[in-house]
């Protein structure tokens, strides 16, 4: 008999198909009455399949008495109440590593896009403005100072790519990373003051909430560029808007926002800002690999084998 699971939100389509094949699936986001669906399947559901976006809180976990495992289609588990899961001895898995390349690729793309004003150049051509003028010069990327906030799995891959652009790389992390060849700044504000680009790639959650505050942005300065590919919660969005409006910060490239998919409207009109709809991992190749890993964790659990990528 196939195990019965609750799928909270729509995963990548091919992965959803594979889930349907391997499990009896209850799709919460499709239910007109979510509460009724939960009540109907609660006694049978042994796993939750979720992504980093919907909240898997204590009330959802506690509504499922037979729950054994939560598998997350993504690396960030800040939306899952890990303490509630732990209390019931429920396993939680995520999908790390397989997205490192794509998130790092997009990060370098965003650095170039914002510094070289790639999106603005595209708008310049499409609107016919090139016919009557030339775009003003932009800013060089190669050889500049890159500050990385979070020298974890993805931070390291970003650094590798940036090294090919002859960038001077420094970082701030919870602690110095053993054997890292890059300059370590104990204080984030000092890293910001010594960076042309500041890339944010730390996990979300309480510990990193609004880590990038007004002081950090002012230290980065009027020529500095902030790139956030982590979580919207890590940046104080109001302070960001204010610093950009005042010219205290030179520009920003943002793949994530505090209240996704809502983006502060003030950012829409700023030419020195590049906006993306949280697509760091959103390539066919990476989403397929993430789906495989998320499903393999479920299959390992139900086969009584060790989990591939356990969080707790």
Catalogue the active-site residues.
231, 260, 278
Residues 184 and 158: their CA atoms lie apart, in Å, by 16
Question: Burial level of 120, CB count in 10 A (0-12/13-18/19+)?
Answer: middle
Would you count residue 251 as binding ligand 8YV (CB under 6 A)?
no
Q: How far apart are CA 20 and CA 295, in angstroms?
A: 11
Q: How many residues belong to the site for ligand 8YV (CB under 6 A)? A: 11
Work out how close the CB of 286 gets to ligand 8YV at its nearest, in angstroms, rounded to a whole number. 8
- Is the CB of residue 290 less than 8 Å from the CB of residue 74? yes
The binder of ligand 8YV chosen from 51, 107, 195, 233 (CB under 6 A): 51
Nearest to residue 286, comparing CAs of 113, 151, 96, 107? 96
Q: What are 296's two structure tokens?
A: 């393999």
Shortest separation between residue 281's beta carbon and ligand 8YV, angstroms: 3
38 prior amide bond cis, ω within 30: no
Q: x/- string (CB under 6 A) for ligand 8YV, residues 57-76?
A: ----------------xxxx
Site for ligand 8YV in 278-307 (CB under 6 A): 278, 280-281
In sequence order, the β-bridge partners of residue 253 are 227, 274
Using a 10 angstrom Cβ sphere, with 0-12 exposed, 13-18 middle and 19 or more buried, the burial of residue 274 is buried
Q: How far is the CB of 27 from ligand 8YV (least distance, A)?
A: 15
Task: Kindly state whether residue 52 participates in binding ligand 8YV, applying the rule CB under 6 A.
Answer: yes
Does residue number 150 form part of the binding site for ligand 8YV (CB under 6 A)? Answer: no
Residues 89-118 binding ligand 8YV (CB under 6 A) are 99
How near is the Cβ of 143 to ligand 8YV at its closest, in Å? 30
**Residues forming the site for ligand 8YV (CB under 6 A):** 51-53, 73-76, 99, 278, 280-281
């Amino acid at each position: 008999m196939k195990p019965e699971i609750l799928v909270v939100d729509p995963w990548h389509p091919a992965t959803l198909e594979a889930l349907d094949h391997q499990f009896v699936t209850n799709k919460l986001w499709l239910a007109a009455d979510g509460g009724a669906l939960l009540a109907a399947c609660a006694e049978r559901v042994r796993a939750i399949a979720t992504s980093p976006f919907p909240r898997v809180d204590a009330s959802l976990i506690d509504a499922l008495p037979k729950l054994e495992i939560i598998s997350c289609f993504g690396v960030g588990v800040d939306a899952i109440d890990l303490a509630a899961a732990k209390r019931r001895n429920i396993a939680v898995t995520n999908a790390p590593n397989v997205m490192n390349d794509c998130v790092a690729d997009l990060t370098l793309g965003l650095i170039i896009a914002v510094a070289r004003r790639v999106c603005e150049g595209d708008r310049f051509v499409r609107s016919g403005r090139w016919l009557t003028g030339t775009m003003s010069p932009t800013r060089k990327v190669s050889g500049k100072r890159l500050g990385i906030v979070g020298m974890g799995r993805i931070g390291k891959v970003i650094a590798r790519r940036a090294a090919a652009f002859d960038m001077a790389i420094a970082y701030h992390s919870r602690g110095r990373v053993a054997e890292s060849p890059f300059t370590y700044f104990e204080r984030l504000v000092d890293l910001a003051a010594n960076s042309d680009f500041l890339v944010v790639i730390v996990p979300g959650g309480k510990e990193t909430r609004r880590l990038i505050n007004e002081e950090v942005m002012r230290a980065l300065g009027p020529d500095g560029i902030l790139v956030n590919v982590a979580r919207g919660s890590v940046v104080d969005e109001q302070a960001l808007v204010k610093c950009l409006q005042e010219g205290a910060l030179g520009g920003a490239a943002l793949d994530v926002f505090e209240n996704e998919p809502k983006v502060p409207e003030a950012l829409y009109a700023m030419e020195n800002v590049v906006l993306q709809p949280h697509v760091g991992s959103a390539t066919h190749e990476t989403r397929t690999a993430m789906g495989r890993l998320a499903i393999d964790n479920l299959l390992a659990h139900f086969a009584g084998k060790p989990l591939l990528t356990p969080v707790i």
